[in-house]
Amino acid sequence: MVEIGTFGIYLTLVFVAWLVGLVASCPAWLLALGVVAGVVAVVASAQVYLLPARPSWRHWSTVGTFLGCGLSLGLSTALLATSLTPDGLSGAREVDVAEALVLLGIVVTAASLWRRVAYLRRASPDTQAAWQAVSTSYAGLWWARLIVGIALAAAAAVLSFTAEAWLWLAWPCLLAGELIDRRLFFASVVPLSFRAELRDVPSTRGS
């Protein structure tokens, strides 16, 4: 319910900002309020995955990657959509702030992934098995996540401060990185959850 409510508030603010933008310049405070509401909604969504039965997810890095995605991919999408309007990216100060938040989102994602790996490698046998699966069976995807979704996206985000056209490179890199991350996120837990559920089922031998 909290997740639904927070996303409802966020979508309402986005709709109001869009209506205001049709007749006048949208005030900065309304845009800032929308960003805050979006962050709260993303954090609430991430909380859904912090389950005791899923040890590889039950770590603050799960919230961190969700939040990093919301800032980087979410705001870069908004910037590109705005650039296609008749006025384009006219507000220089607001654009600079948004681009800085995109870069901040990438940094938050990178730091969260770094701490997730450290957690998986040492927390428990289940989390160690999760990291073993990611680093072997999904090694190619893992490196693609780091190279495309972090390194290349960060370089393009930095260059966007000098030429906003670089956002058109940053956005597909961020999208590809997040799609890969979702694949790795679920791949790291599904086999473990099945084994855990089988261990919890009472033995029927001899019945």
pLDDT in tens, 66-80: 999 988 998 898 888
pLDDT in tens, 157-189: 999 888 888 999 999 999 999 999 999 998 888
pLDDT of residue 92: 66
pLDDT in tens, 94-110: 788 888 999 999 999 99
User: Distance between CA 36 and CA 130 in Å, rounded?
Assistant: 33
